[in-house]
Amino acid sequence: MDPAQVSGKTSEHVLTYADGSRRRVFVTLVETPYPHGKLIVSRTDTLGNITQCNPSFVEMSGYTEAEIIGQPHCILRHPDMPAAAFRDLWDTVKAGRQWNGYVKNLRKDGGHYWVYATVVPNIRDGQIVGFTSVRREPSREKVIAAEVQYRSLS
Ligand SMILES: Cc1cc2nc3c(=O)[nH]c(=O)nc-3n(C[C@H](O)[C@H](O)[C@H](O)COP(=O)(O)O)c2cc1C
């Protein structure tokens, strides 16, 4: 998110990441609807740095592709997402399994979008060489249920 791009009514939050680092973000209540029928796809290295993404990913994030590639995936972390959700994601995929979950992502302009994400490890010769996430449109009922659950975990 980029403070220079955020307009309208905003609230300020400080995110603390799993490595202890912090980032100040400004969020709005503006939701960008999921693009019907599209998949939002990204790939990361083993550390979660973005190595590839598709045009829908770029468009929904509000960043340019050049701004996104090479960044850690937590560039999209929204303050409403509990750390426990991402701990579960990482524990699952590092163990070689698939993770599914509802994710609220932060756009560059301080708005957000909800996705239903599937994250899988990319395995070559028995080694995890990176991860792929494919996101689909979530149902509104599931988003509302996730909001309630995440509020209780935050
Ligand atoms: C393939 C892949 C895709 C990810 N996609 C997202 C995402 O869309 N939004 C997000 O906030 N975190 C995503 N993450 C999790 C982030 O790497 C990170 O764990 C999370 O943003 C929380 O930050 P932290 O772990 O530094 O505390 C993804 C991780 C992987 C491996």
pLDDT of residue 1: 74
Q: Which CATH number fits domain 3-153: 3.40.630.30, 3.40.50.12500, 3.40.50.1820, 3.30.450.20?
A: 3.30.450.20
Chain mean pLDDT for the chain: 95
Q: How high is the pLDDT of residue 3? A: 76
Q: What is the pLDDT of residue 92?
A: 98
154 CA distance to ligand 1 middle (Å) = 16
CA neighbor of 115 nearest in space, from 132, 98, 102, 129: 102
Environment class of residue 140 by beta-carbon count within 10 Å: exposed (0-12), middle (13-18) or buried (19+)?
Answer: exposed
- Over 90: is that where the pLDDT of 141 sits? yes
Residue 107 in contact with ligand 1 by CB distance below 6 A: no
Please state whether the predicted TM-score (pTM) of the whole model is above 0.75. yes
Q: Above 90 in pLDDT, residue 138?
A: yes
Which of 61, 86, 91 gets mutated to test ligand 1 (max ligand atoms within 8 A of its CB)? 86
pLDDT digits (tens, 9 = 90+) for 24-75: 999 999 999 999 999 999 999 999 999 999 999 999 999 999 999 999 999 9
Whether the Cβ atoms of residue 14 and residue 30 lie closer than 8 Å to each other: no
